[in-house]
Amino acid sequence: MKVGFIGLGTMGAFMAANLQRAGYQLVIHDVRREAGANRIAAGAIWADTPQSVAEQCEVIFTSLPGPKEVEAVVFGPQGLLAGIQPGAAYFDLSTNAQSLMRRVGEAMAEKGAHGFDAPVSGGPKGAETGQLAIWVGGDKAVYERCKPVLDAIGDQAAHLGPIGSATVAKLVHNMAGYAIQTVMAEVFSMGVKGGMDPLDLWAAVRQGAYGRRRAFDRLADQFLIDQYEPPAFALKLAHKDVTLAVNMARELGVPMRFCQLTLEEMNEALNRGWGELDSRAPMRLQVERAGVQIKCDPAAIQAVLERDG
């Protein structure tokens, strides 16, 4: 099987190298030919255009900066669509826009090919070692057929649903991470201005209840099952803690934009009469605003926790 790979930047170069180590014949392309020098030296075939890659390969990957580049590679002159073969599978490993990936999927289907959004998570180190999560959206049967190729890139490939599903998961994951880091900057700046050494502060809080458990696992207890009573820790008590923290920050002259918003959410929840419910009850407010329903089977949640450790 010939495998195409377009985009040999920091992530792409490592992933392409792992495909070669797994024994796949690579056909490569990048806007800079010199980016492919190591892969060519290891036996890869250079293609001058994305179209040429598509004409030669059954499975094609792109690892590109974003939607603008993916759009050009897929739909542009001498792009993938101009050369894609019936039955071929195209996986975009980039973090992309859901609307674009759905359009890519439709365009590939018109050619008798299969499009997938397949964003990865694990960073450059994971790309180098092959320890990557690959979230995949698209036809499940074709995904299963191509999974051995995906397994050469990452150790946690998973099919999530139709095309666009994987992009949703990646954006939720990344947005959560960046929002959390913003809050961490707020609270740590408050702690240091309050007189603590940052290393001592970090060493202490990582042993607390929040520090000892994976962040996303916390959603299983109340939020995913939509059950906030009996409380593990009552909202009225959590509101007291957050009020104390925000007040201390104000006394210290530390801006706390995210934390102030957290207090406002708690205030609204208290005004609903939710003080005796669990401290995560304010999460219901956002679910209401979004107009969605979140209520998962506790047994199914437990099965995921046991499966993934």
Q: Give the helix/strand (H/E) hosting 6.
A: strand 2-6
Q: Can you state the angle between helices 165-193 and 257-271, rounded to 10 degrees?
A: 100
Alpha-carbon span 16 to 3, nearest angstrom: 9
Residues 161 and 137: beta-carbon distance below 8 Å:
yes
Judge whether 170 counts as a catalytic residue. Answer: yes
Task: Count the neighbouring beta carbons within 10 Å of the beta carbon of residue 233.
Answer: 12
DSSP sequence for 193-220: HTT--HHHHHHHHTTSTTTTS-GGGGGG
Residues 12 and 63: beta-carbon distance below 8 Å:
yes
- Residue of 170, 193, 236, 240 marked catalytic: 170
Residues involved in catalysis: 170
